[in-house]
Amino acid sequence: MKTIHLVVGARPNFMKIAPLHHELLKYPDEYAIRLIHTGQHYDKRMSQFFFDDLGLPKPDEYLGVGSGRHGEQTARIMERYEKVLLKERPDLVVVAGDVNSTVACALDAVKMHIPVAHLEAGLRSFDRGMPEEINRIITDSISDWLLTPSQDGDANLLAEGIAPERIHFVGNIMIDSLVQHRERAVVSTILNNLGLKSHNYILITLHRPSNVDNREGLDTILSAFEQLAPEINLVFPIHPRTLKRLDEFGLRQRLDAIEGLMIIEPVGYYDFLRLQMEARLVLTDSGGIQEETTFFGVPCLTLRPNTERPVTIEEGTNLLVPLHTAGIVDQSHKVLYGKSEPARIPDLWDGHTAERIVALWRRDYDRLGSFG
């Protein structure tokens, strides 16, 4: 019997870990699963909602680290998770994505010579100004199993000199959750609840520090909303970071005054999938939403100068738009009034990634811990 820790911390981790959790449960004689929640995200709408929607059990360990500066938060996670590792000594630790919980738990594990598997390995924006890029580079360099969602991930890792036997192109595990829950999402009543009509609104999410942690960024974005709102409904489930910054910069009133813009609290997974599926356009700076819109074939404008997910541009429906009011409005108009570009779903974004990962581990069960 092997014990596997599945680590979650922030909103985008839940939909990446849930499919693996469900798949491992199929082999109760082979794997004991322990679900570890660092508590990086803790609001009900940023955490508990996803346990409910994704069918995840209560975490076996809740570290309750909360918010803080990068050093502070990362250190707190490391200090608390190390104690769990000392107690439990699992055979494998699985981390996902690029948040502070990912790098902190991976570091703890490798220093105790416990093997680490990284879900969503190999993604690179080549922008070291993003905290997530630092987290990706460090996590990939120390993980034993590098499980990539797209082949650009393999190429990035190989270019960094990582041994090919550690790299496994398994596909996009976030899409497993989407496929598993799509039917539930279709019957979500969120559109009715908000009084929205299909293909008649723009869905917005924003939380990147480069966009929302400075007044100019928020000002640019609000100006774009002011220009777009008279033409089409805007729906904005607002991230707590962004809400906090709007208040700090005294911009809340200006936002509230935009007629046709609906500010709502973050919504659960089914509701958000439904909002994406039915949107005419999505404006975002989220990583995962670039991928989900590509899967749904819904146009997405990403308000960033770069992306670690180039496949969503090359094959999918995504386009990068720099932070500039006229540019955001012009590109939105092209989507709203122009012709849509052909797009496809990238390879192995098929809902079977968790199966491929567990099959990989079972193929050589005794070597689970060693470099794949």
Q: Which residues bind ligand UDP (CB under 6 A)?
A: 11-12, 15, 205, 237, 266-267, 269, 272, 286-289, 292
- Least Å from the CB of residue 315 to ligand UDP: 19
- Least Å from the CB of residue 127 to ligand UD1: 13
Task: List, in sequence order, every residue forming a beta bridge with 237; answer none if it has no partner.
Answer: 264
Distance CA(246)–CA(237), nearest Å, equals 14
C-beta of 310 vs 372, nearer to ligand UD1:
310
Q: Which does 220 bind (CB under 5 to 8 A by kind): ligand UDP, ligand UD1, none?
A: none
Q: Which does 131 bind (CB under 5 to 8 A by kind): ligand UDP, ligand UD1, none?
A: ligand UD1
Mask: binding to ligand UD1, 1-40, rule CB under 6 A, as x and -?
---------xxx---------------------------x
Among 225, 239, 209, 207, which Cα is nearest to 281's? 225
User: How many residues does the structure list for the chain?
Assistant: 372
Helices (H), 143-239: 151-159, 173-186, 190-194, 209-212, 215-228
Among 174, 123, 120, which Cα is nearest to 352's? 174
Query: Interface with ligand UD1 includes 42 (CB under 6 A)?
Result: yes
Helices (H), the chain: 11-24, 48-54, 70-88, 100-111, 131-142, 151-159, 173-186, 190-194, 209-212, 215-228, 240-248, 252-256, 269-277, 287-296, 311-314, 325-337, 353-363
C-beta of 99 vs 368, nearer to ligand UDP:
99
C-beta of 31 vs 201, nearer to ligand UDP:
201
Mask: binding to ligand UD1, 98-127, rule CB under 6 A, as x and -?
xxx---------------------------
Using CA atoms, how far residue 343 sits from 46, 163, 275, 280, 300, in Å, is 31, 33, 20, 15, 12
Query: Interface with ligand UD1 includes 131 (CB under 6 A)?
Result: yes
Question: One-letter amino acid identity for 103?
Answer: V
Show contacts with ligand UD1 in window 168-207 (CB under 6 A): 207
C-beta of 65 vs 84, nearer to ligand UDP:
65
C-beta of 218 vs 368, nearer to ligand UDP:
218
Percent helix, strand and coil across the chain, each to the nearest 5: 50, 15, 35
33 — phi, psi (to 5°)? -105, 135
CB of 132 closer than 8 Å to CB of 109: no
C-beta of 33 vs 279, nearer to ligand UDP:
279
- Classify each residue of 181-190 as buried b or exposed e, where b means 16 or more C-beta atoms within 10 Å of its C-beta: bbeebeebeb
Query: Interface with ligand UD1 includes 72 (CB under 6 A)?
Result: no
Mask: binding to ligand UD1, 227-246, rule CB under 6 A, as x and -?
-------------xx--x--
- Least Å from the CB of residue 81 to ligand UD1: 15
Among the listed residues 37, 168, 181, 207, the single catalytic one is: 207
Specify whether 168 is catalytic. Answer: no
Q: Which does 41 bind (CB under 5 to 8 A by kind): ligand UDP, ligand UD1, none?
A: ligand UD1
Distance CA(266)–CA(12), nearest Å, equals 13
Residues that bind ligand UD1 in the complex, under the rule CB under 6 A: 10-12, 40-43, 46, 67, 98-100, 131-132, 207, 240-241, 244
**Residues tagged active-site:** 207
